[in-house]
Amino acid sequence: MHEWALAESIIRAAEEYASRNGLQRISLLRVYLGELQAIDHEILGFALDNLRREAGVAIDRIEIVEEEAVFRCNRCGYEWRLSDTDLPEEAREAIHFVPEAVHAYMACPRCGSRDYVVVSGRGVRIEVDLEG
């Protein structure tokens, strides 16, 4: 599963951050999941729970937050949500692996431009809190 690779990258990033800053523990690791990448919340949570045990830094708590995918057209300024569109299954699957592939499958609903920004909800990013 691709979710395992992402979970691994989240743990690696936390470890790297901790070692760079000389930290033994992270009180809260918040993981944002962008709707566009459609990461399976449960599988990712399970994978993270498994991997954190062998992590090189103690992570007290992991919190997963889902983010809605929003786009803004660079040409006409129109803003829309992923939920306003109707992407075929094949496209969804490709985008799951590489969110930028969305530009190959979706255009601005107003002007047809393929030059748009993913304003939020692209993929995975994490926030580290040391106090909690």
Partner 1 sequence: MSWALTVIDPRWAMARERLRGVGRVFFVESSKGGVGKTVFSALLALVLAEKGVRVGLFDADFTNPGLHTVLGVEPVLEAIGEDKGVLPVEAGGVLFMSIAFYTGGRPLGLRGYEASSALVELLAVTRWGGIDALVVDTPPGIGDEHMDLHWLRPDTRVIAVSTPSRLAVESLIRLIEYLGSQGIRVAAVAENMSDKPSLRPLAEDRGIEYIGPLPYDPGLEQALGSPAGLRSTKPYRVLRRLVDRGLDTLGWWR
Burial of 59 (0-12, 13-18, 19+ CB in 10 A): buried
Check: CB of residue 4 under 8 Å from CB of residue 41.
Answer: no
Instruction: Specify the stretch interacting with Zn ion by CB under 5 A; choose among 4-12, 13-21, 26-34, 111-119.
Output: 111-119
Q: Does 76 bind partner 1 (CB under 8 A)?
A: no
Residues 7-36 binding Zn ion (CB under 5 A) are none
Q: Which is nearer to partner 1, 4 or 78 (CB)?
A: 4
Choices 8-16, 38-46, 60-68, 79-87 (CB under 8 A): range interacting with partner 1 = 8-16
Tell me the three state secondary structure of residue 113.
Answer: coil
Region from 52-60, 61-69, 76-84, 99-107 binding partner 1, contact rule CB under 8 A: 99-107
In the complex, minimum distance from the CB of residue 103 to partner 1, in angstroms, rounded to a whole number:
6
Rg for the chain (alpha carbons), in Å? Answer: 17
Residue 97 binding result from partner 1, Zn ion, none, given CB thresholds of 5 to 8 Å by partner type:
partner 1
Partners of 104 in the β-ladder:
none
Q: Which of 37, 24, 27 is nearest to 99 (CA)?
A: 37
